[in-house]
């Protein structure tokens, strides 16, 4: 067994995490084929765990079958809008609910995440760290709704949300811009103004859509 694989973790889980991270890091490009046979030979394993990892990633939408080949998901403008329309509906409600019912300690935890993000930006941390903190901000808002059904709905598109979050980070001063928008949402959360917090979440996600459209257009021009 290849020394890079940990025996205590199921092999399919390791391949799932590895392939997913390579997609997020841009090491596997949109439309690029995932060669199961090649991966099996490289890591000296059977194709079974790789197939299981691929199956999960297909279900999440990060891989797709094109002409009988497994390739990395290639985003379209319609996909972006569809996913973000779902996010606007779900997350605008989530922030409204959390603003109303969250304990003061939970509101403080969200605020601490923003402070962590600000420090990470000032310290020049790699984008992966800041993206994870941005994700944590949104996840805490969902978590503190205490609504398992709502969280399940978001979990079904979580892989694509993360994919778009990485794309959304492209551009000048994106970390600072996103943090500013998160702070504006939180401003109303801290004041327990649920309707205004909800409106700010919608504005934030609309701005994300605008930026992602620009990123997609730019990538198409390069190709």
Which CATH number covers residue 113? 1.20.120.530
Query: Is residue 180 pLDDT above 50, yes or no?
Result: yes
Query: Is residue 131 pLDDT above 90, yes or no?
Result: yes
Specify the pLDDT at position 3. 47
Same domain? For 145 and 38 the reply is no
pTM: 0.87
Same domain? For 49 and 141 the reply is no
Tell me which residue of 45, 32, 72 sits closest to 15, measured CA to CA: 45
Query: Which pair of tokens denotes residue 69?
Result: 């080949």
Same domain? For 46 and 95 the reply is no
Specify the pLDDT at position 220. 55
Query: Is residue 221 pLDDT above 80, yes or no?
Result: no
Beta-carbon-side half-sphere exposure of residue 94 (alpha carbons within 13 Å): 25
Specify the pLDDT at position 1. 41
**Mean predicted lDDT score pLDDT of the chain:** 92
pLDDT-derived band of residue 163, with 50, 70 and 90 as boundaries? very high
Name the residue range of residue 216's domain. Answer: 77-222
Specify the pLDDT at position 217. 82
Same domain? For 50 and 102 the reply is no
pLDDT-derived band of residue 218, with 50, 70 and 90 as boundaries? confident
pLDDT-derived band of residue 90, with 50, 70 and 90 as boundaries? very high
Could you give the number of structural domains in the chain?
2
Same domain? For 137 and 170 the reply is yes
Specify the pLDDT at position 8. 77
pLDDT-derived band of residue 16, with 50, 70 and 90 as boundaries? very high
Same domain? For 57 and 164 the reply is no
Average pLDDT over residues 144-164: 94
Same domain? For 114 and 205 the reply is yes
pLDDT-derived band of residue 4, with 50, 70 and 90 as boundaries? low
Q: Which CATH number covers residue 25?
A: 1.10.10.10
The CA distance from 145 to 143, in Å, is 5
Tell me which residue of 180, 87, 84, 175 sits closest to 129, measured CA to CA: 175
Determine what percent of the chain is predicted with pLDDT higher than 90: 85
Determine what percent of the chain is predicted with pLDDT higher than 70: 95
Same domain? For 28 and 67 the reply is yes
Same domain? For 106 and 177 the reply is yes
The CA distance from 116 to 67, in Å, is 45
Handedness of CA 176, 182, 188, 190 (dihedral sign): negative
Specify the pLDDT at position 120. 98
Same domain? For 24 and 123 the reply is no
Average pLDDT over residues 40-62: 93
**1 located within any domain:** no
């Amino acid at each position: 067994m290849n020394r890079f694989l940990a025996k205590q973790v199921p092999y399919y889980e390791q391949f799932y995490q590895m392939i997913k991270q390579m997609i997020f890091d841009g090491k596997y490009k949109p439309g690029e084929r995932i060669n199961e046979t090649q991966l099996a030979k490289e890591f000296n394993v059977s194709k079974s765990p790789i197939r299981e990892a691929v199956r999960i990633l297909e279900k999440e939408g990060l891989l797709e079958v094109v002409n009988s080949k497994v390739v990395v998901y290639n985003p379209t403008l319609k996909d972006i809008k569809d996913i973000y329309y779902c996010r606007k509906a779900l997350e605008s409600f989530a922030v409204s609910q959390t603003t109303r019912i969250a304990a003061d300690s939970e509101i403080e935890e969200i605020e601490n995440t923003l402070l962590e993000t600000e420090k990470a930006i000032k310290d020049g941390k790699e984008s992966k760290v800041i993206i994870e903190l941005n994700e944590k901000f949104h996840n805490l808002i969902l978590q503190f709704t205490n609504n398992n059904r709502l969280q399940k709905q978001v979990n079904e598109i979580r892989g694509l949300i993360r994919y778009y979050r990485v794309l959304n980070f492209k551009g000048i001063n994106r970390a600072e811009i996103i943090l500013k928008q998160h702070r504006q949402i939180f401003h109303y959360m801290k004041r327990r103004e649920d309707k205004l917090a909800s409106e700010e979440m919608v504005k934030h996600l609309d701005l994300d859509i605008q930026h992602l459209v620009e990123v997609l257009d730019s990538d198409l021009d390069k190709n």
